[in-house]
Chains A and B, each alone.
Chain A
Amino acid sequence: MIHSSSPAASDCIATIVDELAHYLPQQAPLHTFVHHNTLHAFEHLTFDAAVLAAGELYGAEPYQSEAAFAKHLTSGRILSTDIDSVLREEESRSCERDWPPLVGQSLRDYRRTRLCHLFEVPWGPALAWQLRETKVLSELHPMVDASRQRVLRDWADRRFGALEPTRRMPRMLQDLWRTLEQAAPVPDEAGTRLIRRRDQLLAAGAADIDSRTQPLLIRLCAAFLDQGVALWSMPDRDRGFLAAVRVLYGQVAPLPEAWARGLADELVRQQRGNCSAEDVIEYGLVQLGVERPNWRDYLQVSLLALPGWAGMMRQFELRPDRAPVEPRPARLLDMLAVQMTFEWLAARHELKKLRGAAASFSGLPEVQPARPIHKQQQWVYEAFIMAQIAAIDLEELEQPKCAAALMEEARSFDELCRRRLLHLAYERHLRVVLLDGIAAHASTSHQQPPPCRLQAVFCIDDRECSTRRHLEESYPQARTYGFAGFFGVAMAWQGLGEVRSRPLCPVNLTPQHYVTERALHAAEESAYLETRRRRGKRSLVFGNASREMARGGLITAFLGVFSVAAMVGYCLFPRFAGGARRAVAKRKLREPMTRLLIQRTGEQRTAEGLWIGYSVPEMADIVFDALQAMKLTESFSEIVLVVGHGSSSVNNPHGSAYDCGATGGGRGGPNARAFAAMANHTEVRVALLRRGIVVPESTWFVGCYHNTCDDSMVYYDEDLMPDERIANLEEAKRAMATACALESHERCRRFVSAPATADASATMRHAQHRSMDLGQPRPECGHATNAYAIVGRRERSRGLFLDRRAFLVSYDPDNDCSGEILARLLGAVVPVGAGINLEYYFSFVDPHVYGCGSKLPHNITGLHGVMDGHSSDLRTGLPWQMVEIHEPVRLLTIVECEIPILVAVMAGSAEVSRLVMNGWLHVVVLSPTSSEMHEFVDGSFRRYEPSSRVLPTVTSSAEFYQNQIASLGCAATSASFGSDGSVAANLTGEEAPR
């Protein structure tokens, strides 16, 4: 019974792979880029433990580099008060170590000194070279300040007075080095980590088998997952990856490559033996000589050899509905089976070449970890430099106990420790800025804005933070609200002429409703679609022709020269060329007036089982929930804008990462339009009335769409508007136009290449330029400035300049005694906000492992991902150009409520409490009745004492940010309260008084 053990083993392999798959990147195909925590698989750990564990596993950086922190120290981004505070907290957390008072200063002082003096500790041969060839052992370190230098010189003079003056200092330093070296603790033997056979072979002098097998594997994965780039698709790929590979490579003709000679036979063997993927993997492990207890680890390192492709395979397996064009029967197990087959064949081949036919893998040497002696030398160097810099009495250091304590400190307070504390200090700085700002704002501003004439609901997105502020500043009669940008309408949306529907809702929801749009006049629609189809066919013929031989030859030879004109346009006049392109596309193409098919009358469902449209009670629920959560339940203005958002840019594979996160990487216009249509529905209004919300008949909801890249606005269904509201809408549009122009003005201050001008119309042009420029890798800022989330009444933050940092969620604690609404809001805001924030964090701290590096060499593959240049692993995460100006801090979430309510909410949601308890974000509770704040630290709430109650006060935000390129702190702007709105308005040059 040879096979008796194999079912259990196969089970075991399938389970192992299922578990290991969590460690692969979770990024979906690019067209639905959804921000998520890069280290989602580590959320059960605390943040600090997780970044270290993941750093170890992926070979990634946990925090910013020490060099980066050193720059923050010099630039004042981290202050010594931040470091003090962090060290104080650290001390209260951990029990005091044995630190003899003899050394002359307390442990905290010593550590403060160390954190303020970030010198590089050279490693191994570099250190040996420095000791031999530079003046490390004969001169004081350059970081030693003047007074300390005097102290040390005096001491050297006293101690070695017998020597001639020039030799005293070297003598002192050499003695110091020797003393410390003698006290150095013995490093532990580094545990050996399981590595792949490939690494062992490489270390033993064989060729890199990855360089042979990976290109082939990448080609096959790419061909299998391709969504329509190749003209000729992989045969038999609908039978699964493993089957398709067997068809292609299990033929008689072998590959000419030497390692792959046995491949055909092996695949035929698998085919004949009817081997499942699990069997193949197991066979591969056996062939590679991996022992059963090591299987999990071995499979883990194997999967992480090509994490991007493996992750994408997994995504296609788990979420076939998210495939850009068509799903594939993808399985991670299949890919791993092919990979293991290649790997063992290649490894055997190399082993045979290296050691002869009879050799086995167990004979290969383990790869040496870093030599312990190097570590010891590093500690000595660290203590040696610190003994010079810190106020340590060198005489006392000659006692073995003191030297040992110093050495122990050098060992335990290592680079990762320092970076962790520096990161905390870096975060604290930004936390203090906001909390002080809010405290000062609460205690100073008791102004009331002028009576309300316009209400506008925006997405909670940090980019709308500045749009809202500018709307309030330039039109103080406006009240703004923040609600997740799908406005509660979780739908599968199919626009006019679109081929398939796509979900427009947060990723953790699955839409149950399908909404589409129809033209008002069927004739117009068919004419429109027909023209588009004709042009589409033409561009299909001409657009692709250049890729083919015969048609391409004719077209390039006889018509090709004309594209020089297009090239000149795109390179030199992108805005003009983009405009011309759009004009040509729209020429003689009248977009028909459309209506949403929002109301369901019967019980119709789509083929996928989705309801077509919403019933009246469903619509009433959606509208009621949203209005109640925002406390937009009374004193309605004539116009209520519902603003969805998205972003348009060209030449940008990551375009969907700039769109609205609350709609799952889509554009929120249709959601806003649907919400407005629901809220204007007469029957819905009746239902609302029954539930206690009186929406006056004079109030009209208008759905609109804000393009955050070129700051344009689209207003939907204006023709349905009652005539007497048109004037109000025009006024609202003017206000929004001014706000958008100012928004572009504020955003452009962060771009080096934007014009430094006070004229908002010039920056508006620049923003349009960016959205249409093929050569622009940074179309807008995206979420790069995110750092805060504020859940509470807008009055608490109105008139507070937050530098586009905050997700602003409207919530009224008075309205929510039970915490039910808060639970719903936090259940969405915490995972989404933390997801965005943490993805930016990780892509910033390690742009090569967690991020996808520079955009410039990116190469779109299969319509689902990008590679770096030719045939690389799929790159996941955010490109460097997107995160460049980000400040990597965890999200600081301020919730305006009573503490017990928040505690109850956290207890009720496993996801929220996991993220908060494990420190993946900071939470601060703001009292609804006073400016008192409590920080959530280590499982309990602690009162926050503001360090300063002074807030810079300016008339308009422009006054504060003008000509500043770096990120800024908080400020109070008085224009939001109508004291002087003209300054802001004048910037646009539109509303100058006549």
Chain B
Amino acid sequence: MSDAWLHVVVSAIIALPVLCCFVLGVPSWFGARISERVVSTAVAWTFSLTTIAAAFALLALCLRGGAPIEVDLGVWFQVDHYEFRWRLLGDWLSLPFACFASLLTGLIAAFSRRYLHRELGFFRFYLLLALFGAGVQVVVLAGGLDLLFFGWELVGLTSALLIAFFHERPKPVEHGLRAFLTYRVCDIGLLAAAVYMHHFTGSAAFVVAAGESAQTFSGLVPPSVLMESLLVGGLLLWASMGKSAQAPLGGWLPRAMEGPTPSSAIFYGAISIHLGPYLLLRAAPILDVAPGVAASVAVVGGLTAVHATFVGRVQTDIKCVLAYASMTQVGLIFLEIGLGLRWLPLLHILGHAAVRSLEILRSPSLLQDYRHLEQAVGRQVVRSPFRFERLFPVALRPWFYRHALERGYFDTLLRDYLVGGFLRACRWLDRCDRWLTSVIVAGDQDQSKSDEVIR
């Protein structure tokens, strides 16, 4: 097959979902009401076609012996030495991921047609789902950090809006906002990393490193100086920690279960949560040259896995249990990446996404499942053969239990001390500012007016 055709196919993986968003979004912007059947069919078919295109590209990749498919769609803008290039990249990392992500999105679209039937926000849900699907494909197929950032933001935005899907209640909105804030704070890492990459190496594109075989994943070209690698690697780790709910930032994940079940399944069981490891796999060459970063990734992942499995064991509602189970596995994936593995994390991502999203979809079956299991086993179900808590001395067990129940106190510490401290500092500065103003103003105005300023 000619390269030109292949380029069309790879571009279609992004173009189809984007087109779908426009086709649905623009008429509704002008007040058109689109029926449930049309919306859901459009989204489900878009992602079916996307899946086919991705599978096709994957097949072509096999036939090419693994040589990455690069699609250059030209330059958007140019400033001095910097140019923003629409460059897509299909390699062993992106195409399986793209294929899988679009398959899941399509399945969720088909599923939600029945699940959300007659729901007021039906259209909104589908539009956000399509936007999310488009965002994911941009992240996955992006040929460099610049383009990836677009998709990354789109995924974060749709994620927050879907958590707040039931916006007539305050809690979902609050939790959506919390997720959004975590994303934004961590996105600084991605943006800064992109800027520094351009600054240090002149490019933030993903390429196959010289001397490597075509069987590895394309990645960033590490800067020549170790310190620079450490900086960029640290920033990328920061970025991926937010998106993948790693400790201590992961408090938003259980709270994200406010949305409708299918969106929870695809975002926090399957795709959105795994974008962090995906980014780190793209940054793998930097991890290779900067062992400090790799070690940090491993430590963050390992700690998160232990923390999440610890906390998850005391959770009493099914969605929280699954959220922490998800966090545990993503922590392990981080650990694997930190340890220098490449193919295993990819396999782990795909396998975990499939298992977890199905579990979340099935979560309302818990009561029936429990009854069946109990009948089959013939006695009251003891969930875990390994009683984790037996590791601790009896006297300390309540203390550890409380630690787990309070989720390691991370939320409180972040809220009351970090964010709270920041806010207190701002207020203090504000007071200083007012005082200073009053002092200056008092010089040429009468006293009563400056009192007003102070108040």
Contact = CB atoms under 8 A, between A and B. Distances in A.
Contacts of A558: 347, 351
Nearest to B402: A248
Contacts of A222: 316-317
Contact of B117 (A226, A547, A753): A753
Contacts of A537: 377
Given A860-B318, A869-B257, A536 B378 contact: yes
A650 B377 contact: no
B187 interface: no
B87 interface: no
B376 interface: yes
Given A549-B309, A870-B258, A752 B401 contact: no
A553 B115 contact: no
B398 A549 contact: no
A580 interface: no
Nearest to B253: A870
B404 interface: yes
Contact of A255 (B254, B348, B374, B412): B412
A714 B343 CA distance: 52
A326 B107 CA distance: 38
Nearest to A496: B375
A555 B317 contact: no
B370 A546 contact: no
B184 interface: no
B438 to A, nearest CB: 24
A537 B374 CA distance: 10
A869 B309 CA distance: 21
Nearest to A859: B319
A557 B373 contact: no
B385 to A, nearest CB: 8
Given A540-B373, A563-B358, A857 B309 contact: no
A780 to B, nearest CB: 14
A856 B257 contact: no
A653 B367 contact: yes
A497 B364 contact: no
Interface in A520-569: 529, 532-533, 535-537, 539-541, 543-544, 546-549, 552-553, 555-564, 566-568
B427 interface: no
B216 interface: no
A423 B400 CA distance: 56
B118 interface: yes
Interface in A215-234: 219-220, 222-223, 226, 228-232, 234
Contacts of B256: 870
A325 B371 CA distance: 10
The interface centre, meaning the residue of A532, A651, A867 with most chain B CB atoms within 10 A of its CB, is A651
Contacts of B417: 256
Report the contact-size class of chain B (Cβ under 8 Å from the partner).
Answer: 35 or more
Interface string A646-686: 00001111010000000000000000000000000000000
A863 interface: yes
A777 B416 CA distance: 40
A571 B401 contact: no
Contacts of A753: 114, 117
Nearest to A652: B364
A219 B316 CA distance: 8
B339 to A, nearest CB: 13
A258 B412 CA distance: 9
A563 B355 contact: yes
Contact of B376 (A539, A547, A564, A570): A539
A253 B383 CA distance: 31
B359 A549 contact: no
A539 B313 contact: no
Interface in A868-926: 868-872, 881, 884
A987 B317 CA distance: 46
B149 to A, nearest CB: 29
A549 B166 contact: no
Contact of A539 (B166, B169, B373, B380): B373
Given A549-B309, A857-B260, A219 B355 contact: no
B373 A248 contact: no
B316 A856 contact: no
Contacts of A857: 165-166, 172, 258-261
A567 B107 contact: yes
Interface in A12-31: 30-31
B67 interface: no
Interface in B157-175: 165-166, 169, 171-172, 175
A61 interface: no
Interface in A834-878: 854-863, 867-872
Contacts of B397: 235
Interface in A386-411: none
Given A229-B366, A564-B354, A257 B325 contact: no
A557 B348 contact: yes
A559 B355 CA distance: 9
Nearest to B120: A854
A48 interface: no
B89 to A, nearest CB: 23
B445 interface: no
The interface centre, meaning the residue of A532, A753, A857 with most chain B CB atoms within 10 A of its CB, is A857
A818 interface: no
B318 A571 contact: no
Given A533-B378, A536-B377, A774-B362, A230 B316 contact: yes
B357 interface: yes
B379 A499 contact: yes
A553 B314 contact: no
A752 B35 CA distance: 13
B399 A251 contact: yes
A544 B110 CA distance: 27
A572 B365 CA distance: 18
B362 A256 contact: no
Contacts of B329: 546, 552-553, 556
Nearest to A235: B398
A126 to B, nearest CB: 19
Contacts of B328: 548-549, 552
B364 A230 contact: no
A249 interface: yes
A884 B118 CA distance: 10
A773 interface: yes
Contact of A653 (B113, B254, B313, B366): B366
B296 interface: no
Contact of A552 (B112, B325, B363): B325
A219 B405 contact: yes
B314 A546 contact: no
A247 interface: yes
Contacts of A547: 312, 321-322, 325
A603 interface: no
Contacts of A858: 364
Given A257-B416, A540-B377, A572 B107 contact: yes
A775 interface: yes
The interface centre, meaning the residue of A229, A541, A559, A867 with most chain B CB atoms within 10 A of its CB, is A229
B399 A253 contact: yes
B2 interface: no
B388 interface: yes
Given A226-B316, A650-B365, A650-B368, 11 more contacts: A219-B316, A223-B405, A229-B315, A536-B375, A537-B377, A547-B322, A652-B365, A653-B367, A857-B258, A857-B259, A863-B367
13 contacts: A256-B409, A532-B376, A533-B376, A546-B355, A560-B348, A572-B107, A652-B368, A774-B111, A775-B114, A857-B172, A860-B367, A869-B175, A872-B171
Q: Closest 5 CB pairs between A and B?
A: A560-B351, A536-B376, A869-B258, A861-B317, A536-B377
Interface of A: 30-31, 219-220, 222-223, 226, 228-232, 234-236, 247-249, 251, 253, 255-258, 324-326, 497-499, 529, 532-533, 535-537, 539-541, 543-544, 546-549, 552-553, 555-564, 566-568, 570-572, 650-653, 655, 752-753, 773-778, 854-863, 867-872, 881, 884
